[in-house]
Amino acid sequence: MNFSSINYIGIVVATIAGFVTGALWFSPKTFFPVWWKLMGKTEGEDPGAGQSMGTIFGALVVGQIVQAFALSAAISGFYANASVAQGAATGALLGIGIAASASLTHRMFSGLGKNAWSVWAIEVGNDIVALTIMGAIIAAIL
């Protein structure tokens, strides 16, 4: 990959899209309440309690940037001029083939018992949707 050919605007927009997708996916009106309960947490517990929110969100942003760079490299490696559909398909493929499969073993050893499958499905659902959207954006801007 030639780093001079990277469209940094695409990386930034895809990073923001990934962040927004996660915020919507895990909002109080969508999957957060179910996910939180499946994790064995109570309604009164605060996510990230006792941790630095700056560190949590900083790590989240760094993770999104790394995903956007990797996705951009994959798309430009697979296609000379990717269409939006090809970018989205590449994101979905990487979401299913890498993100979902890699996190499966972590979740199975998490100690959540029968809830592990449901927690995994909610978490990787976000990964797959976010990477699909990010791939479409990167391909559209490349």
CA dihedral 25, 28, 33, 35 (to 10 degrees): 20
pLDDT over 80 at 136, yes or no: yes
Whole-prediction pTM = 0.92
Q: Considering its fold, how many domains does the chain have in total?
A: 1
Contact 98, 110 (CB under 8 A): no
Structural domain boundaries, residue 64: 3-141
Residue 50, pLDDT score:
78
Q: Supply 85's token pair.
A: 């559909």
- Work out the mean pLDDT of the chain and round it to a whole number: 92
